[in-house]
Amino acid sequence: MLFLTFVVFSSPWIWTIFLARPVLAVFIILITVIICLYSKGQITNKYFICFLMFIFCYFQYKYIVKESLTNLSNDQIRVRDMRLSEYPPVYFRIGSKTIWLPVAHWFEGRKESIVFSRIQDNFFQNFDLNHYFFAGHPRERVGILESEKFIYIFLPVFIIGLIDFLNRKKYFLFLLTFGLPVFFYSLFGHRSLYGEFLFFPFISILISSGLKLLYQLVIKLGVKKQRIFLLLLIIIFIFVLIQIISYEIY
Amino acid sequence: MKYIRQGIFITLIVLLGAFLRFNKLDKIPGGFYVDEAAIGYNAYSFLLTGKDEYSKAFPIFLRSFGAFSSPLYTYLTTVPIAILGPTIFSTRLLSALCGTLSILVIFLIFKRINLFRNKYTSYLSVLLYAISPWSIFFSRGAYEANMALLFVISAIYFLLDKKRRLFSFCLAAIFLSLSTYAYQAERLIVYILYPGYLFFFVVERKLKKMFDKKIIISLFIFFAIQIPQLVLLQSPAFRNRAVGLFYGDVIKIQADKIVSVIPRQITYGLAFAKEFFSQFFAYFSPRNLFLDGDPDMQRGIPLLSVFYPWMMFPYLL
């Protein structure tokens, strides 16, 4: 829990939310703590966790700029029409009869294909670690205000935590804290006022468990090495924190 | 029987790859990009006069409107141009050939490292490479990078020789050294890859034979081929393509944003670290690998990235 506290309060993301919506920030922290307790087995009621996650989704739904999966802006219509005109004509002949196949329309014109491509685009955005650790850099998204969420030196620790989490095979927790947000953002898009905060508990818990694993490795070192390592880590952390805050307020 | 079946599988995959790379090569992609035209024109010029468009005889870097690009692709393109004439097809032919050969080399690498437990996985991996939109795209245009890639992976194949034979070392040295004449990125990559390999080779042998005969001979071959380029190391032509290396001015701009409580040198280090790691992880992002094409329209197909979107599911598994 100590590591989780450290990760949560060192996140520029939670402070950004806190400054704008303190109640929402407190709620996010609360959910994160409850999920952490559930992962440790201190809370066992699955239904309670599910209920909380659905309330959490409701909060996110409230702050998301809803995007239609089918509507196209004038510019998108222009691009689509340009693309449609680039398709070669597809046809086959049976005797003297020519049968034309509207392949271009099937691929890009039909509403179903537009919905599919929107969901696909939203789906892929969920997996981009750069959104959570590098403020979307180098591929910042159009129409979304990218902000610093977690400090980037936590990324290797997050990966350690993720591997450990997957090895433990806690599929229910994985589906609830990762699968549900992925499904949510795939359907409703990513234009959220305060970022995709449904992922906050998942990422912060994994970082904290990664940090814990790292700490367990460090304490196996000799006292002198341990001190040097920790000192170095603290110095790097402070420098990076200053860097991230500077970028955020610039 | 095992080898016949293996041969049939790989032949079919290479034939499929060749079809995807050679079919209507002169028509798809449409038009003839300025860089391709420059290669074709210079190759034709070398063939007729032995000089480039600036009347420079056999240059080490092709000036080509200030690009100072690597010359190997252009020199080798003189062969298809001599046979087939100065056409779009003959200019792109070498790239398509390199793309097709790289399928085979990648298969050989998989066989050599014996990475997969299931014997069919290596065929599947090579098939995925053969149909990869990225590989097909770069094989269908006259891109020097494609040739450099073939040279580098060929060198890797020889470096992975378990018996560590002298001829493997020599061939690896030749391919690596030649790749630096094929594309500018290899001028950096090779100088990281090759010393790195030799270092691990020496460490593996526990420093008993630091001056191994194989290392000395292969290094001699490598640097002998490098001489023309090393002579021009300080020239503006060599440094022309190194502009922007290590992110150049971006680091200064980012470092300037950091508040002045941190010493200047450290802010540069922090800005570089963030830029480097963001670029590094962005490459492995599923969005980059499976969805968004290259932002540079010349170097990608819209809505197609390195792999097809459906390939993401096995990637995540």
Q: Contact B278/A250, CB-based, under 8 Å?
A: no
Q: How far apart are CA B299 and CA B304, in angstroms?
A: 11
Return the pLDDT at B306. 87
Give B169's contacts (C-beta < 8 A, 6+ positions apart): B158, B159, B214, B215, B217, B218
Task: State pLDDT tens for residues B201-249.
Answer: 877 765 566 667 888 899 999 999 999 999 988 888 887 777 667 777 8
Q: Do A250 and B257 touch (CB under 8 A)?
A: yes
Q: In the predicted model, is pLDDT for residue A218 greater than 70?
A: yes
Query: What stretch of H or E contains B100?
Result: helix B88-113
Provide the domain count of chain B.
2
Under the banding of pLDDT at 50, 70 and 90, the label for residue A33 is: very high
Top pLDDT among A175 and B292 is at A175
Whether B28 and B139 share a structural domain: yes
Between CA B92 and CA B25 the distance in angstroms is 7
Whether residue B90 is found in the same domain as residue B194: yes
Cβ–Cβ of A246/B258 closer than 8 Å? Answer: yes
Find the residue in B nearest to A148 (Cα).
Answer: B274
Residue B268 contacts residue B251 (beta carbons within 8 Å): yes
In whole angstroms, give the CA distance from residue A183 to residue A61: 13
Of the residues B223, B243, B263, which one is the last residue of a structural domain? B243
Q: Does B258 touch chain A (CB under 8 A)?
A: yes
Closest residue on chain B to A127 (Cα): B286
The 8-class DSSP code of residue B89 comes to H
Q: Which amino acid is at A33?
A: V
For residue A130, which residues of chain B lie inside 8 Å, CB to CB? 278, 281-282, 285
Contact residues on chain B for A139, CB-CB shorter than 8 A: 282, 285, 287-288, 292, 295
Contact B282 A125 (CB under 8 A): no
Same domain for B198 and B295, yes or no, is: no
Average pLDDT over residues A18-22: 93
Cβ contacts (< 8 Å) between A121 and chain B: which residues?
Answer: 291
Check whether residue B307 and residue B180 sit in a common domain. no
Are the C-beta atoms of residues B286 and B316 closer than 8 Å to each other? yes
pLDDT single digits (tens) B10-19 = 999 999 999 9
* Residues A70, A114: Cα–Cα separation, whole Å: 6
ipTM for the complex shown: 0.86
Contact list, A124 vs chain B (CB under 8 Å): 286-287, 290-291, 309, 312
Mean pLDDT of B46-51: 94
Instruction: Please name the residues in contact with B103: beta carbons below 8 A apart, sequence gap of 6 or more.
Output: B13, B14, B17, B126, B129, B130
More confident residue, A106 or B101: B101
Is the CB of residue B123 less than 8 Å from the CB of residue B13? yes
Q: How far apart are CA A1 and CA B250, in angstroms?
A: 39
Q: Return the SS3 of B184.
A: coil
Quick: pLDDT tens for B243-300: 667 777 888 888 888 877 888 888 888 999 999 999 999 988 888 888 887 777 777 7
- pLDDT of B121-158, one tens digit each? 888 889 999 999 999 999 999 999 999 999 999 999 99
Cross-chain CB nearest to B287 (options A125, A133, A137): A125
Average pLDDT, integer, range B100-110: 94
Residues 6+ positions from B87 with CB-CB distance below 8 Å? B26, B81
DSSP assignment of chain A: -HHHHHHHHT-HHHHHHHHH-HHHHHHHHHHHHHHHHHHTTS---HHHHHHHHHHHHHHHHHHB----SS---HHHHHHHHHHHHHSPPEEEEETTEEEEE-HHIIIIISHHHHHHHHHHHHHHHHT-HHHHHSTTTTSPPTTS-----S-TTHHHHHHHHHHHHHHHT-HHHHIIIIIHHHHHHHHH-S-BTT--GGGHHHHHHHHHHHHHHHHHHHTTS-HHHHHHHHHHHHHHHHHHHHHHHHHHH-
Q: What percent of chain A has pLDDT over 70?
A: 100
Beta-carbon neighbour count of residue B271 at 10 Å? 22
Please state the domain extents for chain A: 2-67+129-249
Whether residues B94 and B232 fall in one domain = yes
Examine the domain organization and report whether B133 and B13 are in the same domain.
yes
Best B258, B290, B305, B310 member to test A by mutation, with max A CBs in 10 Å, is B258
Determine the residue type at B88: I
Residues B129 and B185 in one domain: yes
Q: Taking CB atoms and an 8 Å cutoff, what residues of chain A touch B281?
A: 129-130, 133-134, 155
What is the pLDDT at residue B64? 83
Burial B181-191 (b: 16+ CB within 10 A, else e): bbbbbbbebbe
Tell me the residue range of the domain where B265 lies: 246-316
Contact B110, B122 (CB under 8 A): yes
B152 and B168 part of one domain: yes
Q: Which residue has the higher pLDDT, A221 or A49?
A: A49
Residue B234 forms contact with A (CB below 8 Å): no
Cβ contacts of B96 within 8 Å, gap of 6 or more: B18, B21, B22, B25, B139, B140
Q: How confident is the model at residue A146 (pLDDT cuts 50, 70, 90)?
A: confident
B308 contacts in A (CB within 8 Å)?
Answer: none
Of B243, B267, B284, the last residue of a domain is: B243
Per-residue pLDDT averaged across A191-198, rounded? Answer: 90
Tokens representing residue B173 in the block? 């040295």
- Cβ-Cβ contacts under 8 Å, B309 against chain A: 120, 124
Is B313 near chain A, with CB under 8 Å?
Answer: no
Residue A52 has pLDDT above 60, yes or no: yes
Burial (CB count <10 Å: 0-12, 13-18, 19+), residue A248: middle
Q: Are residues B186 and B285 in the same domain?
A: no
Do B143 and B8 share a structural domain? Answer: yes
Whether B96 and B230 map to the same domain: the answer is yes
pLDDT value at position B115?
74
Q: What gap in Å lies between CA B161 and CA B169, rounded to an integer?
A: 9
Asked whether the beta carbons of residue A124 and residue B262 sit closer than 8 angstroms, the reply is no
Amino acid found at A106: W
Query: For residue A246, what is the nearest residue in chain B, using CA coordinates?
Result: B258
Indicate whether B55 and B199 sit together in one domain: yes
Among B261, B281, B295, whose Cβ lies nearest the Cβ of A130?
Answer: B281
Please choose, from the candidates B146, B169, B159, B181, the residue with its C-alpha nearest in 3D space to the C-alpha of residue B108. Answer: B159
Q: How far apart are CA B97 and CA B80, in angstroms?
A: 11
Share of chain B above pLDDT 90, in %: 50
User: Among residues B213, B243, B273, which one ends one of the domains?
Assistant: B243
- Looking at beta carbons, which residues of chain A come within 8 Å of B266? 239
Give the model's pLDDT for residue B219.
92
